[in-house]
Amino acid sequence: MSRVSTYLNFMGNTEEAFNFYKSVFGTEFVQPINRMGDVPPDPSMPALSEAEKNMIMHIELPILAGHVLMATDMLKSMGHELRIGNNVTINLEPDTRAETDRLYAALSAAGSDGTGMQEMFWGSYWGTCLDRFGVRWMFNCSEPA
């Protein structure tokens, strides 16, 4: 079933923020919580420090009316920099790859900073773009290729 959620980026304090949100909304994290150390290493990228391996790669928390907050820690060692414009993303999870491609093409037209759609290690078809109005969109489709 398709869904829409809000994806937040933090600079190393995702876990602290989400423990706060958990206390505010009185809900529980959707399991599993993925840590950076769970990501398969990429030989073309610098190795993660032990502290970075413990940072959050992905976390989900239901808040109200079925809406879910998701988040990740950005890593300085990977050149990430948190700023207005990349701190909040609207995450779309369409049911089909065809609908995912249609939405990506429409929202990325005349936009910038797109990744293109690609297969990811967690088994999804994924991509991001910044639309022509400066809104960041993420696409995550779990329909098999």
Stretch (H or E) spanning 15: helix 14-25
Q: What letter does residue 112 receive in the DSSP assignment?
A: B
Q: Among candidates 91, 57, 90, which has minimal Cα distance to 72?
A: 57
pLDDT tens by residue, 83-142: 767 788 999 999 999 999 999 999 999 888 789 999 999 999 999 998 887 888 999 999
Q: What does the alpha-carbon distance between residue 71 and residue 76 come to, in Å, rounded to a whole number?
A: 16
pTM listed for this prediction: 0.76
Q: What is the mean pLDDT of the chain?
A: 90
- Please report the domains of the chain, with CATH numbers, ordered by start residue: 3-141 (3.10.180.10)
pLDDT of residue 82: 79
pLDDT of residue 2: 87
pLDDT tens by residue, 77-97: 777 887 767 788 999 999 999
Pairing of strands 56-62, 30-35: antiparallel
